[in-house]
Amino acid sequence: EIVLTQSPGTLSLSPGERATLSCRASQSVTSSYLAWYQQKPGQAPRLLIYGASSRATGIPDRFSGSGSGTDFTLTIRRLEPEDFAVYYCQQYGSSPRTFGQGTKVEIK
């Protein structure tokens, strides 16, 4: 099983600032099958990034993903008020399809 470790657990930032979220895998993620999801309270997760760096349909270009192998990053270039949420990474290249524990981006 691939274990995904996200850091930091909580990120306290102001609107307009840049957010950098990390996801580290316990072993190499097959073919960069790494996704990022956003979840707001009371809502289902929403796909942001797939294939480590491809934006899902309708996702603003302030969201970007990078990385390969065992180290991946989600960057939010300039935080908008609606971006404050919890973010999860997930590997979907092997079973079980594991999720990281999440990073909460909160308003400072």
Partner 1 sequence: EVQLVESGGGLVKPGGSLSLSCAASGFTFSDYSMNWVRQAPGKGLEWVSSISISSIYIDYADSVKGRFTISRDNAKNSLYLQMNSLRAEDTAVYYCATGGIGYSFDYWGQGTLVAVSS
Q: Where on the chain is the footprint of partner 1 (CB under 8 A)?
A: 31, 33, 35, 37, 39, 43-47, 50-51, 56, 88, 90, 92-102
Q: Please name every residue paired with 99 in a beta bridge, in sequence order, or none if there are none.
A: 90
Residue 79 or 90: which CB sits closer to partner 1?
Answer: 90
Q: How many alpha carbons fall within 13 Å on the CB side of residue 105?
A: 28
Residue 15 or 60: which CB sits closer to partner 1?
Answer: 60
Least gap, CB of 21 to partner 1 (angstroms)? 14
Least gap, CB of 55 to partner 1 (angstroms)? 12
Residue 73 or 102: which CB sits closer to partner 1?
Answer: 102
CB atoms within 10 A of CB 62: 15
Least gap, CB of 90 to partner 1 (angstroms)? 7
CA distance 43 to 32: 27
Q: How many alpha carbons fall within 13 Å on the CB side of residue 16?
A: 0
Least gap, CB of 78 to partner 1 (angstroms)? 25
CA distances from 99 to 20, 36, 94 (A): 18, 9, 12
